[in-house]
Amino acid sequence: MPILQRVTGEDAIARVGAAVGDLATDVKDSHGHVDLVCEAGKLPDVMQRLRDADGLRCRFFTFLSGIDRTELEEDKTSYGTGLEVLVHVYSPEFGTHVNVHVPLPAENATCPTITGIYMGAFWHERECHEMFGIDFEGHPKLVNLYLTEDFEGHPGLKSFKLPARTTVKDWPGAKDPEEAAAGGH
């Protein structure tokens, strides 16, 4: 579908602001994309409005991911210093990009699923759950994609420490038996 009319800048901010109303705050331009902040409980309504609003129709789901802001020294943004769910959608008809920021607490982070609005979020929410420990309420199958079910921790978190290679398994590149017995040292 070709772009009917490219909507960017102040016009895009106005259209997004009108679509989401008081469900979101801090609607602004960020390098040609419209950024906004919404509370977790309002995310499904915000996403539905972005998808269905006349003059906007952000029907293309691009991605959803988590961000760990827990080690920031101070809150320099309105996104908080805990975790964040970041969702990007795009309007093929109007060429408008929208980033939705959802601040969450670092402990017991929970966000409603948007799989009923954008089926493309199905895989992304599973990955975000696995890597950052964010629960997506209502997700139809929130199971791991990459890690075993008995894996402990969430590798996307800054607090997750990767184990040293030699503590997990003997180094296979050892040149002689003594070196192999010493773990490759």
Q: What is the mean pLDDT of the chain?
A: 88
**pLDDT tens-place string over residues 76-131:** 566 677 899 999 999 999 999 999 999 999 999 999 999 999 999 999 999 999 99
Where do we find the tokens 């093929």? Answer: 92
95, part of any domain:
yes
Question: Which residues neighbour 15 within 8 Å (Cβ) at sequence distance 6 or greater?
Answer: 7, 53, 55, 56, 94, 96
Q: Which helix H or strand E contains 180, and what residues bound it?
A: helix 177-181
pLDDT band, residue 55 (cuts 50/70/90): very high
65, part of any domain:
yes
Give the separation between CA 117 and CA 147, rounded to whole angstroms.
27
Report the pLDDT averaged over residues 14-37.
96
What is the pLDDT at residue 184?
Answer: 52
Give the separation between CA 60 and CA 18, rounded to whole angstroms.
19
Number of domains in the chain: 1
pLDDT band, residue 18 (cuts 50/70/90): very high
Cβ density class 38-77: b for 16+ within 10 Å, e for less: bebebbbbbbbbbbebebbbbebbeebbbbbbeeeeeeee
What is the pLDDT at residue 183?
Answer: 56
What is the pLDDT at residue 185?
Answer: 54
What is the pLDDT at residue 3?
Answer: 67
How many Cα atoms occupy the beta-carbon half-sphere of 130 within 13 Å? 17
42, part of any domain:
yes
173, part of any domain:
no
State the angle between helix axes of 43-52 and 9-20 in degrees (0 to 180), rounded to the nearest 10: 120
112, part of any domain:
yes
52, part of any domain:
yes
58, part of any domain:
yes
Q: The pTM is what? A: 0.84
56, part of any domain:
yes
> Domain of 84?
9-154
Give the separation between CA 146 and CA 22, rounded to whole angstroms.
38
Q: What is the CATH number of the domain that holds 93?
A: 3.30.460.80
